[in-house]
Structure 1
Amino acid sequence: MLKEAEDFIRTFYYETGQSEQEMQSRLLEIEIQIVKYGSYEQTIEEITYGAKMAWRNSNKCIGRLFWQSLNVFDKRDLHTEEEIFKALLEHIQFATNEGRIRPTISLFSPHDIRIWNHQLIRYAGYETEKGIIGDPDSIAFTKKCQELGWKGNNERFDVLPLVIQTKNNQPKLFEIPKEYILEVPIRHPEHKLFEELQVKWYAVPIISSMKLEVGGITYPTAPFNGWYMGTEIGARNLADDNRYNMLPTIAENMGLNTKSNASLWKDRALVELNAAVLFSFKEDGVSIVDHHTAAQQFKRFESNEMDAGRDVTGNWTWLIPPLSPGTTHIFHKPYNNEKKTPNYFYQPSPY
């Protein structure tokens, strides 16, 4: 812990232009705390910069150009489920910002707090005799919510409750009031069939299942968000055959030949679905970025990092967009997938 704390503090003080004397004083303070208590408490300035650095170091994220704009809420003093729920609602409201999405992270105590949800807002998935209703990726968590007493409506876009656990207590369910959830009905500028399909998606992807590691301290509860890249919804969430699997329905409604792969019906349906997602979000004034613009923004990020004397790490398989990747510069570049800290990491599910 002392080594990781020292590495982080040196970087933090150097990048923020603080003096060597201030840094040495802080390092001594941290060493004393670790020797005495086995850990240390980070200042709000340290944790704020650390969370931003973690975004900068996130190898799978194409949106890192905006790492310095991250809004950081320090919620380490909250310990009851009710207090945490209220803070999560504040996060959702602030991040949503009536559609003008603000990148945000809320940091809770590193001890004895977990959010069971993968994302703060996500749709349920139900196994029924007539097949799966809703999001197949949410089936296991939906069952857990039902075991805890939640009753959904068995519809395609039921928003799951928040499940919060403190210490070894029984987890508690909290319904998110509808006024906090901004959703976008998906329609197409030319094809009316999209409106008939009655598909929608939520505005803000707030990841709540990953942990943040900064300077040797781990925060297992640190929900964070940016805004969507269109393909996340149009080429994955709504398109994957193990998710909402919309491509066959769209293709049939468009009159495409779905009997032959050579007709490229999947590709044509996929393009129109992504066009519909981008059109709908833009029409409703909700922040979103197309994959071509996101790739250009990532190129600027690479240039900025080079100017700062930092190497850009990246996971190529995640950085390339799932639609027309060969049209972006990322597709044609090798990236070093070395994992740096601070960073966000996967962690075992609490259930």
Structure 2
Amino acid sequence: MSGEAPESFFSGAGRAAAPTRRLRVASRRPAGAPPVDVAEAEDFLRLFHAENRDSGSLQYRIDRMRYEVETVGTYRHTEAELAFGARVAWRNSARCIGRLYWKSLKVRDLRDVHTVADIAGHCVQHLRQATNGGKIRPVISIFPPDTPSRPAPRIWNEQLIRYAGYERRDGSVLGDPRYRGFTAAVRSFGWHPPREPGAFDVLPLVVETAEEGAHMFALPRDAISEVPLRHPDLRWFGALGLRWHAVPVISNMRLSIGGVSYPAAPFNGWYMGTEIGARNLADPGRYDLLPVVAERLGLDTSRPDALWKDRALVELTRAVQHSFHEAGVTITDHHTESERFLTHVRREEAAGRKCPADWSWIVPPMSGGQTPVFHRYYDTEPQLPDFFTDEDATRRALHGGPPHFS
């Protein structure tokens, strides 16, 4: 439900720690965004008024939008339009299996927050609100959009919480190999790992604006909720020292509402167990723990037809599910969520709406054929509003390249 690539798919600033260092990277002031597409804006306003009948005159709102676009190249959404647009973007997100809950998304309107320190502080607030003592709440924090006169803030991180990957001399990686480039970059910019680096060291948050450049912020420990992983039956499992963070806050996707683009709009749902157990901890390009678990289980790993990977995958995912439940942290399983997703599809069809879905993302990475989402086709035509991967943010997150505004 977190939307991890390519896995299945959530006033007054609360201050983060002071920036560790202003990043010494090449930066230039961008020209800004192109003018808003008026036709796309009209389509959104018609959708908003169709689903919110008490919103006043549609024609007056369209005329006002057109005037703003002709004058400054963009227009400002009302608070109600922003909240509706964010929720519908989740409703339309083809890669997310957890869309049944789209109406419950808490929308934080932060369009008047412009400094890197305040943006980082609100990201910390987001984590605290979303964690909610373990009863995870879907939250989105929407910072200023791109406009023709002013580029939007950017968050470099793929997610607000991710673990460092330290490349060793022999080419192996301690931690998460996916973030070895980002880890090397923030270290070169002045980030200092713990005195004894570990496999689950939380990376700093990097926020950039055109005016201030890019700055790093250490996330406060009390804003980071993590779950130590134990197995319900295997006593040795706890000795592996595994853990995972409770809230998956995606921060590298652009929110597009009625022609207006919000590049900094971190959002979260809650985890599905397979995202952690069958992907983050299991993928060869991530923590690659299946051989370790299989060896401890005493499985024959010499032959693929012994299905040792499958057996290890199940036990690893069982440990994740068990541990989150024991810790009182919201998590769901792929069987339950598959049923709920089809409930969402039926509701959308009953409302006369299309429900776009990417089969390769909706079908879970474990026991896919045993879930009902496997055995059908889906509408693939994109719908707006929606979330889009920000390739520039992804490049920075994975490789730590210098900032670049398009």
Which TM-score tier does this pair reach, normalised by the shorter chain?
A: over 0.9
1:50 to 70, 78, 85: 85
CA distance in 2, matches of 1:9, 1:226: 26
Written as runs of structure 1 = structure 2, the 5 A alignment for 1:141-152 is: 141-152=182-193
Q: Does 1:66 align with 2:66?
A: no
Q: Which residue of 2 aligns with 1:29?
A: 64
Q: Which residue of 2 aligns with 1:140?
A: 181
Compare 143-152 and 55-64 and name the one that shifted more.
143-152
Q: Does 1:174 align with 2:217?
A: yes
Q: Displacement of 1:168 after TM fit?
A: 5.3
Q: Displacement of 1:140 after TM fit?
A: 1.2
Q: Which residue of 1 aligns with 2:289?
A: 246
| Unpaired stretches in structure 2, ≥5 consecutive residues | 1-36, 146-150, 394-400, 402-406
Structure 1 residue ranges (4+ consecutive) displaced by more than 2 angstroms after TM superposition? 348-351
Q: Which residue of 2 aligns with 1:199?
A: 242
2:159 to 119, 136, 160: 119
Written as runs of structure 1 = structure 2, the 5 A alignment for 1:229-244 is: 229-244=272-287
Contact 2:152 2:264 in 1 (8 A): no
The residue identity in structure 1 corresponding to 2:230 is: R
1:8 to 39, 44, 49: 44
CA distance in 2, matches of 1:170, 1:16: 40
CA distance in 2, matches of 1:147, 1:116: 15
Q: Displacement of 1:151 after TM fit?
A: 1.2
Q: Which residue of 2 aligns with 1:320?
A: 363
Contact 2:160 2:251 in 1 (8 A): yes
The residue identity in structure 2 corresponding to 1:149 is: G
CA distance in 2, matches of 1:341, 1:303: 19
Q: Which residue of 1 aligns with 2:21?
A: none
CA distance in 1, matches of 2:301, 2:203: 34
Q: Which residue of 2 aligns with 1:209?
A: 252
Q: Which residue of 2 aligns with 1:40?
A: 75
CA distance in 2, matches of 1:113, 1:172: 12
- Identical aligned residues as a percent: 48
CA distance in 1, matches of 2:217, 2:274: 30
**Secondary structure, in 3 states, of the residue corresponding to 2:166?**
strand
The residue identity in structure 1 corresponding to 2:60 is: S
Deviation by residue 1:308-334 (Cα, 9 ceiling, x = unmatched): 011211100000000000011111111
Using the size of structure 1 for normalisation, the TM-score is 0.98
CA distance in 2, matches of 1:189, 1:312: 38
Structure 1 residues 107 and 198: alpha-carbon distance in aligned structure 2, compared to 1, 3 A threshold = same
Deviation by residue 1:95-129 (Cα, 9 ceiling, x = unmatched): 01111000000000113300000000010111112
Q: Which residue of 2 aligns with 1:77?
A: 112
Deviation by residue 1:255-282 (Cα, 9 ceiling, x = unmatched): 1111111211110000011111000000
**Secondary structure, in 3 states, of the residue corresponding to 2:167?**
strand
The residue identity in structure 2 corresponding to 1:14 is: A
CA distance in 1, matches of 2:337, 2:173: 33
Written as runs of structure 1 = structure 2, the 5 A alignment for 1:329-340 is: 329-340=372-383
CA distance in 1, matches of 2:211, 2:159: 22
Q: Displacement of 1:6 after TM fit?
A: 0.6
Q: Displacement of 1:170 after TM fit?
A: 3.0
The residue identity in structure 2 corresponding to 1:61 is: C
Compare 171-180 and 126-135 and name the one that shifted more.
126-135
CA distance in 2, matches of 1:229, 1:22: 42
Q: Displacement of 1:336 after TM fit?
A: 2.3
CA distance in 1, matches of 2:213, 2:69: 32
The residue identity in structure 2 corresponding to 1:64 is: R
CA distance in 2, matches of 1:121, 1:258: 33
Q: Does 1:256 align with 2:256?
A: no
Q: Displacement of 1:35 after TM fit?
A: 0.9
**Secondary structure, in 3 states, of the residue corresponding to 2:141?**
strand
Taking only aligned residues, the RMSD between alpha carbons, in angstroms, comes to 1.1
CA distance in 2, matches of 1:210, 1:331: 26
CA distance in 2, matches of 1:146, 1:170: 17
Alignment length, in residue pairs?
Answer: 350
Q: Does 1:222 align with 2:257?
A: no
Higher relative contact order (CA 8 A, sep 6+): 2
Q: Displacement of 1:169 after TM fit?
A: 3.4
Deviation by residue 1:193-212 (Cα, 9 ceiling, x = unmatched): 21010100000000001100
The residue identity in structure 1 corresponding to 2:158 is: H
Q: Does 1:128 align with 2:168?
A: yes
Q: Displacement of 1:307 after TM fit?
A: 1.1
